[in-house]
Amino acid sequence: MRRIANKVLRPLGYELKKRRDSSFDRVAVGQSFVQYFNMTEGAISLKEGSLLYDLARGVQGACILEVGSYRGRSAVALGRGSLDGHRAPVFAIDPHEEFTGVMGGRYGPPDRGAFYKAMIDTSCYHVVRLINLSSELVAPNWKEKIGLLWIDGDHSYAGVKRDFEAWQPHLTPTAWVAFDDSTNPEIGPYRLIRELLATGRFEQTHAEGKVTVLRAKP
């Protein structure tokens, strides 16, 4: 039986090696962040994406975690920042199941396809890992320290609070926490940010468009 298996598997292994596309081993370089950004679909602006890129470029000795990936635009901002910085691993958490957001946006499996395409087109697959599960299912068994947390998932107050509280125990003492859609008083991120600032334990470090960044006070 082993001889038969070897006769079958050896030629298959040879063909796999022969057909391997070595272009996937190389990180695409030579383009500006703007060019990579323009290859993507998503709801953040170039200025907002540039802020995430700059923050990701500074993360060292910890990972970057994104809650809510949609079609990959913010993951590309984080991924290219990581590639141009210290190559911190980027974890993208999104179930990509059918979902209607509080502002009426419709999301689902087709967004996963666009996400994969964005990772390939921009070479971000070298550092970005997609985890197709809901945030609260992943966080309890998480082992990595997080230096940058980007929250852009369920924008209801209960949803954004759940995501923040799920990942807060894994943050480094100097981690940035960035929220999307944070300037609209009618949805969850705005309310949660006000509450966190009111505790006196957090300070606002950056703001760009609808993105707000907090950090725990030393």
Query: Which pTM was predicted?
Result: 0.89
Residue with tokens 């691993």: 89
User: How far apart are the C-alpha atoms of 164 and 167, rounded to whole Å?
Assistant: 5
Partners of residue 188 on adjacent β-strands: none
- Mean pLDDT value of segment 34-41: 96
Q: How many CB atoms lie within 10 A of CB 97?
A: 13
Q: Which residues contact 72 (CB under 8 A, 6 or more apart)?
A: 40, 41, 42, 92, 114, 115, 116, 117, 118, 119, 124
Does 158 reside within a domain? Answer: yes
pLDDT in tens, 119-149: 999 999 999 999 999 999 999 999 999 999 9
pLDDT above 60: residue 6: no
**By C-alpha distance, which of 47, 84, 80, 88 is closest to 180?**
47
In a domain, residue 53? The reply is yes
Which residues have C-beta within 8 Å of that of residue 55, sequence separation ≥ 6? 81, 148, 176, 178, 206, 213
**84, 125 Cβ separation under 8 angstroms:** no
Q: Does residue 17 lie within any of the structural domains?
A: no
Q: CB under 8 Å to 201, separation ≥6 — which residues?
A: 216, 217
- 172: domain CATH number is 3.40.50.150
Is 10 a domain residue? no
Taking each continuous run of H as one helix and of E as one strand, the counts in the chain are 8, 9
Q: Is residue 123 part of a domain?
A: yes
pLDDT, one tens digit per residue, over 178-210 is 999 999 999 999 999 999 999 999 999 999 999
pLDDT at 2: 47
Structural domain includes residue 21: no
Do 204 and 214 form a contact (C-beta atoms < 8 A)?
Answer: yes
pLDDT digits (tens, 9 = 90+) for 63-101: 999 999 999 999 999 999 999 999 999 999 999 998 887
Provide the number of structural domains found in the chain: 1
User: What's the alpha-carbon Rg for the chain, to the nearest Å?
Assistant: 19
pLDDT in the model for residue 17: 56
**Owning domain of residue 76:** 27-216
Whether 131 maps to a domain, the answer reads yes
In a domain, 139, yes or no: yes
Contact 172, 146 (CB under 8 A): yes
Which residues sit opposite 204 in a β-bridge?
A: 214
Residue 5 has pLDDT above 60, yes or no: no
